[in-house]
Chain A
Amino acid sequence: GAVVSQHPSWVICKSGTSVKIECRSLDFQATTMFWYRQFPKQSLMLMATSNEGSKATYEQGVEKDKFLINHASLTLSTLTVTSAHPEDSSFYICSARVVYSGPSRYNEQFFGPGTRLTVL
């Protein structure tokens, strides 16, 4: 399957600072990437859909000014958590959508390994 990487894999920062997380599709181009957040013992929750060359679409309840998303190329999307606070501590996972050409039955999302953010 397609490979998606994230960097960093973990980060610890002080309250009030900003943190940038990168999501890369390594062996394919992705016009659409997704950002999820996962709290302990809970399932993934979609935060936003990142579209290459256009503004991201945020889910209800997600502050777009706090979670800045940039999808400047077909292989890279970044999530910046601005003025991070302890309640932003979570596991952030990105995914990239593979669009199959031809008479495909469905498209597929491949997930990155996740980034553990801890805000002190």
Chain B
Amino acid sequence: KNQVEQSPQSLIILEGKNCTLQCNYTVSPFSNLRWYKQDTGRGPVSLTIMTFSENTKSNGRYTATLDADTKQSSLHITASQLSDSASYICVVSLNNAGNMLTFGGGTRLMVKP
């Protein structure tokens, strides 16, 4: 069964601190892995997309890594801000067509002042 597991389920950090969110997947075949940020009551917004040949990709203070051998990905947030408080969802795509996505349960991040 294709699965995407994220950890931790929730996380509280102080403003300015760094944090790393984890994503393990058993999806096969694998096309690409995406990280989304979802603010409360809003739709997901794409942060990064990586294919199996990409090890790391950055988007501002967000840096995603991918190890296709161990089927693990991480999202590192640097110098957190209050606006980073949101759910972060790891999504694995089975194909390039973009119509077969497997969603992780998300990590709920709260950044406190």
Q: Which of A1, A6, A41, A109 contacts B101 (CB 8 A)?
A: A109
> Is there an interface contact between A49 and B99, defined as CB atoms closer than 8 Å?
yes
Counting chain A residues whose Cβ lies within 8 A of the other chain, the interface size class is 20 to 34
Residues of chain B at interface, number, CB under 8 A: 23
> Is there an interface contact between A42 and B44, defined as CB atoms closer than 8 Å?
no
Give the number of A-B contacts (CB < 8 Å): 58
Q: How far is the CA of A100 from the CA of B46 in the complex (A)?
A: 16
Is B45 in the interface zone, CB < 8 Å from A? yes
Q: How far is the CB of B112 from chain A (nearest CB, A)?
A: 19
Query: Which residues from B are CB-within-8-Å of A114?
Result: 41-43
Query: Which residues from B are CB-within-8-Å of A42?
Result: 105
> Is there an interface contact between A43 and B105, defined as CB atoms closer than 8 Å?
yes
Of B32, B51, B99, most buried by chain A (CB within 10 Å of CB) is B99
Interface residues of B in 46-78 (CB under 8 A from A): 46, 49, 51
Q: Which of A43, A45, A49, A113 contacts B43 (CB 8 A)?
A: A113
Q: How far is the CA of A49 from the CA of B101 in the complex (A)?
A: 12
> Is there an interface contact between B46 and A112, defined as CB atoms closer than 8 Å?
no
Interface residues of B in 18-53 (CB under 8 A from A): 31-32, 36, 41-46, 49, 51
> Is there an interface contact between A106 and B96, defined as CB atoms closer than 8 Å?
yes
Q: How far is the CA of A98 from the CA of B51 in the complex (A)?
A: 17
> Knowing A32-B99, A43-B89, A44-B103 touch, does A108 contact B41 (C-beta < 8 A)?
no
Q: How far is the CA of A97 from the CA of B103 in the complex (A)?
A: 16
> Knowing A43-B106, A106-B51 touch, does A93 contact B43 (C-beta < 8 A)?
yes
Residue ID in chain B nearest A44 by CB atoms? B103
Q: How far is the CB of B4 from chain A (nearest CB, A)?
A: 9
Query: Which residues from A are CB-within-8-Å of B105?
Result: 42-43
The interface of chain B, by Cβ under 8 A from chain A, is: 31-32, 36, 41-46, 49, 51, 89, 93, 96-99, 101, 103-106, 108
7 A–B contacts, CB within 8 A, in A order: A4-B43, A34-B99, A43-B89, A43-B104, A93-B43, A107-B96, A114-B43
